[in-house]
Amino acid sequence: MPTDAPLLVSTRKGLFEVRGHGAAARIARAHFVGDNVTLAIVDRRDGAWYVVLDHGHFGVKLHRSDDGGATFTEVAVPAYPAKPEGFVDKDMWGKDREWALKGIWALAPALDAPGALWAGTLPGGLFRSDDRGATWTLCEALWQHPTRVKWNGGGADHAAIHSICVDPRDPRCVVVAVSSGGVWRTRDAGASWEPHTKGMKAGYVPPEQADWPEHQDPHCVVQSPSDPTVFWCQHHMGIWRSTDDLASWTQIVVEPTSFGFPVAVHPREPATAWFVPAHSDQKRTLIDGKVVVNRTRDGGQTFTALRAGLPQEHAYDLVFRHALDVAADGEQLAFGSSTGNLWVTDDQGDRWHQVAGHLPPIYAVRYG
Partner 1 sequence: MATVAFTPNLQRHVPSPTVTAAGATVREVLERVFADNPRLRGYVVDEQGALRKHMAVFVDGQQLVDRAAQSDAVGPGSEIYVMQALSGG
- Chain residues binding partner 1 by CB under 8 A are 55-59, 61, 74, 77, 79-80, 82, 98-101
Taking the C-alpha atoms of residue 368 and residue 359, their distance in angstroms, rounded to an integer, is: 20
H or E segment at 61?
Answer: strand 60-65
Taking the C-alpha atoms of residue 294 and residue 277, their distance in angstroms, rounded to an integer, is: 7
Judged by beta carbon, residue 58 or residue 93, the one nearer partner 1 is 58
Shortest gap between Cβ of 57 and partner 1 (angstroms)? 4
Q: Which of 324, 354, 333, 327 lies closest to 342, judged by CA?
A: 354
Shortest gap between Cβ of 97 and partner 1 (angstroms)? 12
Judged by beta carbon, residue 35 or residue 317, the one nearer partner 1 is 35
SS3 356: strand
Taking the C-alpha atoms of residue 164 and residue 168, their distance in angstroms, rounded to an integer, is: 12
Judged by beta carbon, residue 56 or residue 94, the one nearer partner 1 is 56
- Counted residue by residue, the chain has a size of 368
Q: What is the largest CA-CA distance in the chain?
A: 59
Where does 288-368 show beta strands of DSSP type E? Answer: 293-296, 304-306, 324-326, 333-336, 342-345, 353-356, 362-367
Judged by beta carbon, residue 99 or residue 212, the one nearer partner 1 is 99
For residue 4, the tally of other CB atoms under 10 A from its CB is: 9
For residue 116, CA distances in Å to 70, 104, 176, 177 come to: 22, 16, 16, 20
Judged by beta carbon, residue 31 or residue 366, the one nearer partner 1 is 31
Cα torsion angle, 336, 340, 341, 343, sign = positive
Judged by beta carbon, residue 55 or residue 284, the one nearer partner 1 is 55
Shortest gap between Cβ of 102 and partner 1 (angstroms)? 9
Q: Which of 364, 265, 257 lies closest to 321, judged by CA?
A: 364
Judged by beta carbon, residue 140 or residue 194, the one nearer partner 1 is 140
Shortest gap between Cβ of 66 and partner 1 (angstroms)? 18
Q: φ, ψ for residue 209 (rounded to 5)?
A: -105, 5
Shortest gap between Cβ of 79 and partner 1 (angstroms)? 4
Judged by beta carbon, residue 55 or residue 268, the one nearer partner 1 is 55
Shortest gap between Cβ of 55 and partner 1 (angstroms)? 7
